Amino acid sequence: MRTPCEISRPAKRNSMPLRLSRVLFGFLFLAAVARADIVRTSDNHIPVDPSKPVFLDFSTFAGSLNVKASDAPEIEVHIRYEYAAKDPAKADEIRRNLTLHIGREGNGAKVTAEYSRDIHWTFESWPPVRLAFTITVPRQCNLKLVTRDGGIAIGEVKGHAEVKTGYGLIYFKGLDGDIVASSDFGDIVVAHCTGNLKLRSVSGNFRVGPVGGFADVFGYGGQIEVESAGAGVRAETSGADLICGFSDPIVAPATLITGGANMLISLHPHSACTLDLKASIFGRIVNVKNKLVFKAVSGGIGHSRAVLELNGGGPKIHAKAGGGSIYLEETALAPGKARPVTPYSP
C-alpha cells in the first residue's frame, strides 16, 4: 500500500503515465521500421466540402494511424508500406494479398485494409506488411476509427470521435466534441475534451486531462487519472490506483470506485461538496497535510468510512476504495481551471 506522500506526489503522477504512453507509441511506429526490408509509400486525395459535415471511416487489420487537421478542402491519405521481404517480387506478392480500399463516401472518406491469410503453420513474419497511415482531415470532422493491432493518435479536431483498438495506444491531443474510445490491451490518453467522454480498456491505463462534459471511465486493471470533468465523473477500476481532481466550482456529482488499491481525490479549498467515502476495512481516510477543512457528518478523517462536508456541502462525491485507503488533498488549481496534460505528438 502506498503512503500518502507516494500517492500524492504531483510530479510523479503527471509524468509517469504520459512518459509510458510515449514509449509505447514510439514502439508502435518504430518496431515495424526496424524489421522492414522494403518500404513503399502512396498518397490519395479525396475532395470534400468543409462547410458541410465531414466524416472519416477507417479500419485496418494492423498498423498505426495518425490523424492530423488542416484547412485544406480534402482528406489526404498517406500510407507507408513496410514489407518483411528483401525481394521486390515478394513484396509485390504480399501487396496482392492486401485488400485496400480508399474512396469517397458522401462528404467524407472510407479507408479499409485487410490481409488475406491462409490458416497454416508458418515461420514468416505476421503481418508480412505493416501499414503506417497518416490521414489529414478538415479541422471539423467526425471520426470512426478501428485498428485491430496498432496505435491511434488524433490531433486537434472538432467533431465526434468513436475509436477502438485491439492492441495499441489511443492518444487524443485534443477534441472539441464527444469521445467514445476503447482498447482491449492499450492505454488511453486524452489531453483535453470539450464534450462527454466514455473510455473502456481491459488492461490499459487511463490519463485524462480537462473534460468539459461528463467523464465515464471504466477499466479492469489499469490506473485511472482524471484531472477534472465539468459535468460529473464516473470512474471505476480494480487492482490499480484511481486519481481524480475537481476544479472549482464542482457542479455535478461523481462516483469513484477502485478495488484492491488506493484512491486520491484532489479538491480546491474553496469548492463546496459532500463526500461519501468508504475505504477498505484495513484502510483509512487521510487528509493529506491537513490543508482541507471538513465538517464530519459521520465518521471522520482517520476512519475507514465518513461523510464529510467541504464549505457547507454541495454536489455529492461517492468514493469507494475496496482494497485500500482514500487520500484527500488540496489542489493548487485556479477556479475553473484544470491541470493541463503535456502535449504529445508521435
Residue in 76, 90, 41, 22 with CA at minimum distance from that of residue 345:
22
Burial of 15 (0-12, 13-18, 19+ CB in 10 A): exposed
Q: Could you give the CA distance from residue 100 to residue 45 in angstroms, rounded to a whole number?
A: 15
What confidence score (pLDDT) does residue 221 get?
86
State residue 123's pLDDT score.
55
- What's the confidence (pLDDT) of residue 336? 43
- How far is residue 219 CA from its own chain's centroid? 11
Phi-psi region of 336 (alpha: psi -120 to 50; beta: other; left: phi over 0): left
d(CA 17, CA 224): 10
Which contacts qualify for 216-219: CB closer than 8 Å, 24 or more apart? none
What grid cell was written down for 278?
468508504
Using only C-alpha atoms, the chain has a radius of gyration, in whole angstroms, of 23
| The pLDDT value given to residue 144 | 99
d(CA 286, CA 334): 23
H or E, element range at 179: strand 179-183
Q: What is the pLDDT of residue 34?
A: 44
* Residue appearing with cell numbers 457547507: 312
Q: What is the pLDDT of residue 33?
A: 43
| Predicted local confidence at residue 318, as pLDDT | 98
Q: Encode the chain (346 residues) as per-residue pLDDT tens digits.
A: 444 334 433 333 444 344 444 444 454 444 444 455 899 999 999 999 999 999 999 999 999 999 999 999 999 999 999 998 899 999 999 999 999 999 999 999 999 999 876 544 455 667 889 999 999 999 999 999 999 999 999 999 999 999 999 999 999 999 999 999 999 999 999 999 999 999 999 989 999 999 999 999 999 889 999 998 889 999 999 989 999 999 889 999 999 999 989 999 999 999 999 999 999 999 999 999 999 999 999 999 999 999 999 999 999 999 999 989 999 999 865 444 444 443 333 3
Q: What's residue 124's pLDDT?
A: 62
Residue 190: strand pairing partners: 172, 208
Instruction: Report how far residue 203's alpha carbon sits from residue 181's, in angstroms, rounded to the nearest whole number.
Output: 14
Parallel/antiparallel/unpaired status of strands 263-267 and 326-330: parallel
Residue with cell 490491451: 185
What is residue 33's three-state secondary structure? helix
pLDDT of residue 281: 93
